[in-house]
Structure 1
Amino acid sequence: MKIAQFSDLHYCPEHLDEVDRCFSAAVEAAIEEDVEVAVISGDSTDHRVDLHSLSVQKLSERIHTLSNHCPVLMLQGTFFHEPLGTLEVFQYVGGKYPVFVATDIQQVALTEDNAWVSSLSGETPHFVFTEETLPKNTKALFSCLPTVNKAEMVSAIAADDHAALGDVLAELLSAFAPINTVAREKHIPTIGVSHGTVHGCLTEHGVPMIGFDHEFTTGSLFASKVQAYMLGHIHKHQVWENALPQYGTQRIAYPGSIGRLHFGEEGDKGWLFWEIDYRNAACMLMPTPAKQLLHIDFEAAPDVAEIQKVVGENPGAFVRIRYNIPEDQRHTVDRESLQKIVEQAGAKSVKIEGRIIPVVRVRAQGISQSKTLEEKLRKWCENTHCEAAPLVGRLPLLVNDDAETIASDLMHGKPPVPPTSADNGPAVSVTDNPVSVTPDVMPVTPGVTHVTPDVTPDVTPVTPDVMDAVTHPDKPADHPVATRNAKKQTPQQEVDLLDLF
């Protein structure tokens, strides 16, 4: 028996162009291969799509086209993507052959006249057939295990954690084994269809799914005694097989998503072409025209040459560029120009995502252990790779002069040289006689007049005339002279170097 398996179509406005192009091509290819049954193993829709939307209209058209060629089985997928009841409408869009929607755990028999018969129908409904209830003209037997609500199941079995879910599902799968064994003895192909995660499988990004709360293990799936187990939910194609002496070969497979929906998805996209009999099962991935999604990451500013090279090797790709850059360098990246360059290189679409890293200022290492202000300054210069001599030479000006005096000297063209004893008496040293100041003690330096912080001296602003009087003692004695010794003196405090310079 030839069966086409599609999975994870994810029809929605966001992905409509991609998935409809790919699924339409897949339907045409399946019809050309003359498949006898079509199976969609979950997540036909996405994002709780509205039934009146264009996405549902397009999906209905594809299902109708498929059902005009062969019977179709649709399985309930993730509740977040398609809430219960969403798929019910598709059972009414069947064409020449019926569409069966499996929303409950059950077995479904496909009869010789291409009708679907559920184990939940009839006088004694049950999730599995018995040898007596299995239709006599069955040509294929499907065991359906749609998405289960983990919270409800754990609550129902009174388990303390989700790990018990796997044990319950393993028992459920093993309950399919007796009737599947009977069907094999009658030369009837047996197929399992589920939507969930196999422990140890890989995601579309190549990440292993390791955990105790995943629904299935390969052992529990093989224990159902089906020849082929068709899975959905994981978007990466992968296959497991199990050969049993005198029994045949069992296979489990994910076809992956029908199209490429996210950046970074690995491998080809497509659908599975199955050939199954009562002893063996084989499958082959049939590629679809999925778009190329390139993601190019940089730890610093984007390398334009590298981007052009990669995009040039993959023309028509959808490109996402990510980069990290310090806040003070963000202006170096011209996003508009970068987008034009990438489009000219052959990209069909470009998405640029820049991560701005905040600049955090950190004090120079070891500066707090220095004893004097000059030592602190030298340490800061050492850590910031600055030349220390010019800064150390001007440090006495900051210690002995106020900002107004220094600014006035600069404005009138006087070079800011450290004061000498000829001008102001003994100069204040910042290295020979370090002064330790406490909030309650005012330092006293010989030759320097100090004014308490709460007293504002009457200081005449320094003008060219005043400076002339200072340099020419023959001027009248009552000429207003504002010397450096008359300025306000403040306690010497440890100052943040970033504020000083």
Structure 2
Amino acid sequence: MIRIAHFSDLHYGVKTMEEADRCFAAAIDQAMAKGAQVAVISGDATDHALDLHAPAAERLMSQVRRLADHCPVLMLQGTFSHEPPGTLAPFRLLGGRHPVFVADRICQIGLDEQGQWNASAGWRFKALPSDLVALFSCVPTVNKAVVAATVGCTQAAQAVGQHLERLLLGFADVHCEARRLCLPTIAVSHGTVYGCISEHGVPMAGFDHEFTTGALFAARVQAFMLGHIHRHQSWKQSGVDGEQCIAYPGSIGRFHHGEAGDKGFLLWDVGADDVAMTFVPTPARRTIDLVFEGRPDLEALREAIAQQDVQGAHVRVRWTVAVEDRHEVDRKAMEKMLAAAQSVQMEGRVVQLMRSRSEGIAQLATLEQKVRAWATASEVSCDGLLECLEALREAEPDVIAQRILAARPEDGGQADESDASVLCAQS
């Protein structure tokens, strides 16, 4: 039995460093206190390409070095947009008490009794090395562009899943041999399982996802440690291969609004034919969403603040208003009411006013009928317009203009409103 601390999706970056470092530091403290013998980081340690002198890079390396001083560390290549190829190479040189192995190719690695990593020359071992205490099979992020160049763009999405399924089946014989030798078997990868749930509660169903649970279980390992999806979830089964478990730990912290569930890491106890997994939460930031269907109601906002503790939380206020009401949103008043929050994010959506044409208006015989139909569809009064139309029938535009300009004395020099409306309509 071996105890493994499984972290994923650390996302160290310029904007995420504070959240990532606080949560990862707390996770390392708990992993060491709970006696982790190996640490696995299953991809996306960084949020984007980082310069070596960037504060986020320095903090991440410091934390991984602290982890390597406690136990051997395995780091897997994640999504290329987050971890461009070569990003993890410097971690091989950290020089802790225990080695850091960077898995940036498909391979198998064994952990020996001295705490050293032994990697296969090819994609798997032809014969297992002696004195191993655990066997790890690593499948880093697949470059779909290479697959597309080989099989064509239209076939690439399905081809990736098919090739990975055959690859995992190819590992199965080695895993069975390891189990016969009473070795714990672990697989580590980074990708999407068909049917998993995203951190925003969306089922991931499509032809471009890398894995199915059936393909993962077919690798015949006890523990399949995944990264990429930011929500913790797991799948288990028991059979001829003993207890098997597939799991995402989720992201180490809460990096976006609307993410459901706790954030944390997994503590695995893996044997030759059994496995146990525990989720350990981290002190991720609190986020609160306040949503208004129309213009934000300050009284309703005050009641929501009274019901929820916004002290130190990250608050997002969302609303949807018509274009004519957009200037009536009092942002300053809302910011003042949310002053106790750690941060406030305002997101207003303006809906453009759309006027629909009255059905059948083209078939009406007279202009008066068309005006009345339009007014009904637009929910406005047409009395003024009909008066203007009547005035235009009775007099020429020049006469109407002269009537407006020659203000009568009894009107105090002011033009008649109906005449002004007619002039505007005519112009």
Give the structure-1-normalised TM-score. 0.77
Aligned-residue offset at 1:340: 1.6
Kept in 2: contact 1:377–1:497 (CA 8 A): no
Amino acid in structure 2 at the alignment position of 1:135: P
Q: What does the per-residue CA deviation read over 1:274-327, in whole Å, with 9 as the maximum and x for residues that have no partner?
A: 111111111111111111222333332123333334444142321122222122
Amino acid in structure 2 at the alignment position of 1:301: R
Correspondence for 1:266 among 260, 266, 284: 260
Aligned-residue offset at 1:408: 3.7
Amino acid in structure 2 at the alignment position of 1:169: L
Distance (whole Å) between structure 1 residues aligned to residue 213 and residue 408 of structure 2: 84
Greater displacement, 75-84 / 36-45: 75-84
Kept in 1: contact 2:269–2:277 (CA 8 A): yes
Distance (whole Å) between structure 1 residues aligned to residue 192 and residue 372 of structure 2: 62
Amino acid in structure 2 at the alignment position of 1:352: M
SS class of match (1:257): coil
Cα 1:407/1:269, change in 2 over 3 Å? same
Aligned-residue offset at 1:354: 1.4
Aligned-residue offset at 1:342: 2.4
Distance (whole Å) between structure 2 residues aligned to residue 379 and residue 156 of structure 1: 62
Partner residue, 1:142: 136
What RMSD, in angstroms, separates the aligned Cα atoms of the two structures?
2.7
Structure 1, unmatched stretches of 5+, are 121-125, 419-494
Distance (whole Å) between structure 2 residues aligned to residue 196 and residue 234 of structure 1: 8
Aligned-residue offset at 1:374: 4.2
Partner residue, 2:214: 219
Is residue 42 of structure 1 aligned with residue 43 of structure 2?
yes
Is residue 207 of structure 1 aligned with residue 202 of structure 2?
yes
Distance (whole Å) between structure 2 residues aligned to residue 498 and residue 178 of structure 1: 86
Distance (whole Å) between structure 1 residues aligned to residue 66 and residue 329 of structure 2: 50
Partner residue, 2:176: 181
Kept in 2: contact 1:75–1:101 (CA 8 A): yes
Q: What does the per-residue CA deviation read over 1:155-183, in whole Å, with 9 as the maximum and x for residues that have no partner?
A: 34678602122111111111111111111
Q: How does 1:150-165 map to 2 (within 5 A)?
A: 150-156=144-150, 161-162=155-156, 163-165=158-160
Amino acid in structure 2 at the alignment position of 1:499: A
Aligned-residue offset at 1:79: 1.0
Partner residue, 1:405: 402
Distance (whole Å) between structure 2 residues aligned to residue 88 and residue 280 of structure 1: 34
Aligned-residue offset at 1:372: 3.8
Partner residue, 1:325: 321
Aligned-residue offset at 1:496: 10
Correspondence for 2:302 among 282, 302, 308: 308
Cα 1:138/1:411, change in 2 over 3 Å? farther
Partner residue, 1:66: 67
Q: What does the per-residue CA deviation read over 1:197-222, in whole Å, with 9 as the maximum and x for residues that have no partner?
A: 11111111111111222111111111
Q: What does the per-residue CA deviation read over 1:28-57, in whole Å, with 9 as the maximum and x for residues that have no partner?
A: 111110100000000101221222200010
Kept in 1: contact 2:400–2:423 (CA 8 A): no
Aligned residues: 415
Kept in 2: contact 1:311–1:317 (CA 8 A): no
Amino acid in structure 2 at the alignment position of 1:298: F
Q: How does 1:388-399 map to 2 (within 5 A)?
A: 392=386, 395-399=389-393
Partner residue, 1:425: none
Correspondence for 2:192 among 193, 197, 207: 197
Is residue 108 of structure 1 aligned with residue 112 of structure 2?
no
Where relative contact order (Cα < 8 A, 6+ residues apart) is larger, the structure is 2
Correspondence for 1:230 among 225, 230, 255: 225
Greater displacement, 70-79 / 366-375: 366-375
Cα 1:130/1:365, change in 2 over 3 Å? closer
Aligned-residue offset at 1:21: 0.6
SS class of match (1:12): coil
Distance (whole Å) between structure 2 residues aligned to residue 30 and residue 498 of structure 1: 77
Kept in 1: contact 2:265–2:281 (CA 8 A): yes
Cα 1:240/1:376, change in 2 over 3 Å? closer
Partner residue, 1:472: none
Distance (whole Å) between structure 1 residues aligned to residue 257 and residue 236 of structure 2: 30
SS class of match (2:326): helix
Structure 2, unmatched stretches of 5+, are none
